[in-house]
Amino acid sequence: MIDKIILMNGYGVYVWSAFSFTLISFVTLYFVTKLQLSKEQKKFVTKFGSLNVEKANVAKLQNINREILSNTFKI
């Protein structure tokens, strides 16, 4: 059974390399995208932290800013 799944009647090398390439592409794209997102989130938190109280309160009026702060590091 295992041999049949691995060898696939002599086509195993083609089938497994096609599936491996696909999955490696997915994993790479996912982590690159996640890294870019985390970088922007961290940048936002740093910038937000450097604002004075008045400016921070103005920024907090926007839902989207509050949402970014609450979602940071969760994805």
Partner 1 sequence: MFKHFEPNKIFVITSRAPKYILFLFIVVLTIGLVEALILSPEDYKQSDAVRIMYVHVPAAWISLGTFSSLALLSVVSFVFKNKNFALISKSLAPAGFIFNIVALVTGSIWGKPTWGTWWAWDARITSMLILALFYGMYLLAWRIYQDKEQVIKITSMIAILGAINIPIIKYSVDWWNTLHQPPSISILSDNSIHVSMLIPLGIMTAAFALFSLLIFLMKYNTELIKIKNKGLDRL
Chain positions contacting partner 1, by CB under 8 A: 5, 8-12, 14-15, 17-19, 21-22, 25-26, 29-30, 33-34, 36-37, 40-41, 43-44, 47-48, 51, 55, 58-59, 62-65, 67-68, 71, 74-75
Least separation, in Å, of the C-beta of 40 and partner 1? 4
Least separation, in Å, of the C-beta of 15 and partner 1? 5
Would you call 56 helix, strand, or coil by DSSP?
A: helix
Element holding 47 (H helix, E strand): helix 12-49
What Å distances lie between residue 52 and 11, 34, 49, 60, CA to CA? 64, 30, 8, 12
